[in-house]
Structure 1
Amino acid sequence: MRKPLGAAIFALVIAGAGAAPAVAAPDPQSAAVVDTDTATSVVRDAVTSTTAAVSRITAPTVQAVNFAGTVSLSNCSGSVVRFPDSEDNDPAMVMSNGHCLETGFPAAGEVIVDRASSRTFGLLNAAGTRVATLRASKIAYATMTDTDVSLYQLTTTYAQIKSSYNISPLTLNDTHPVAGTAITVVSGYWKRTYACNVDGFAYRLKEGAWTWKDSVRYTSACQTIGGTSGSPVVDNATGNVVAVNNTGNEDGGRCTDNNPCEVDESGNVTVRAGINYAQETYQIPACFGIDNKLDLSASGCTLPKP
């Protein structure tokens, strides 16, 4: 996993508290990153003239990806998220990784629902400045089985956050991501972004005791580091979240802690040293209904159940 800071506290577990524990995150200056201040919307007009007329061709508008709505955790990154059907007066949700829980890593096969939590999150504005502290009321859902995600319910609503800080949540896309899509990984912890494309998908991604299904593989430009765990992966064209950043193969190891491997439908194993991954989030909205209430029995909900 993309190691949470302070992982050594959890005593030898994967990607941030594992067999190769991270005592401290790497120097952020050593990472391949993109300064968000330079990320701007680009609209290019191509104009061709004839004696009869002038036609203007405009490229699709690209969203400027910034830090608004992202959060910093004590050891990871995250974001305030909404589902496509969420309403302004619903309790807001924060998404991060299952391995970023304050209680430690869930065991393989473990699913946590509706567990009380008072964890706090630093809310960032577009420039990456911390403007507020948000507080959880509970862990609505968390697991490291099939995926690596945690969803906290907050004590405040989307409307309250918007009214107080003029910050809107990020929307989880409810369709499968597409290979080749230009994406940005936005780390609230480091206040840095990583720009690359979706390279493809791993049928199974295995790391130590954990196995994840249909994981997003980044192209090599996204060299995420410790502390980026839980960062939203944003589709540059829509501004919607398509995945949550979680891991990378650090040393070329085969299916070990901090060194995930890809396993195809036939059981063939591929190791991609230095390549990083995220877990898809399109399947999450189907599991939350009115008032952002978790319903694992809802039609279309495929998240693992306790």
Structure 2
Amino acid sequence: MHRINETNDEDSCFVNHSNKKEKNMKGLKRLAGVLGVIVLLCGMLTGCSGKKLYSEEELTQIHDVIGTVEQMTKEFQNVITDSLPTLLGDMSSSSDELMDFISTRKYDPNKKIIALTFDDGPSTDETNGTSDLLDLLEQYDSKATFFCLGNRLNDESAPLLKRMVELGCEIGNHSYDHTQLTRLDAQGVRDQIDKTNELIKQYSGKACRLVRPPYGDANNDIVPANVSQPFIMWDVDTLDWKNKNTASVISLVEKYKEQDWDGAVILMHDIHSTTIEACKTIIPELVNDGYQLVTISELAYLKGVKLEPGKSYWGIAEKSTVTDY
């Protein structure tokens, strides 16, 4: 019975896909026709515009051309409005996912940018958990990237993922259960990454584009053959996972902040209450010092870096190291 339902679903999907492609083709043909007419009319107008004086017949013709061009412009806009979403929907990524690459935020080019990243979460703790961190980011109009573990993604943590998306934060893949990927065979690696990707999509509504391997451990055996996303490492490890001390994390961040921190990727963990407490000092200080806190994808875009599958990025800015497997 299950296989019969599965086959029917596939047939239905095939029919819907075929109808969508047919609709797209009609939209493209319609668009081509509109463009052709506009080009023709503009050519006619150009042909008349070489004279200083026009006959009454030519003036009437020009008036008609202008009116027709205006009508064609409206038609062109309608075609774009009607066809573009379905054309994008026929691609491998949805239109929403593609538009994620185009940020609507305003950036001050005179300010430095930093990407705060948080691993191993999300934490559903009611006090000093991921929810408190999201409150803080929202308060200071800041964004961050959360590299989540698949085994923490469930109905309880789902509201956190949805809120991350609503606030413009980014969700990355940190494996399913923090297994060191280089100790697994190819199928094991795919299971860790694919299962977590599916859970991120299920609970956040967004496809995952980034991976951070546990312990920052990756090699040619697992990238790019088994992972279709870029591996994102870091510039600065706050050692919050080791010290679990609020003052220590704040002190380390303030130390590095004295250097040229523009474009830095900072590693922290939102499962430690001491880290959340430290962020209550770190985030306001960074913002007040003129830093803009952005996601990994925003950082890459603003620095002109294209993140590619099969590459491991120890940071994003020019000074960082990129490993091409």
Provide the TM-score with structure 1 as the length reference: 0.27
Question: Which protein is richer in helix relative to its size?
Answer: 2
Question: Which protein is richer in strand relative to its size?
Answer: 1
Provide the TM-score with structure 2 as the length reference: 0.26
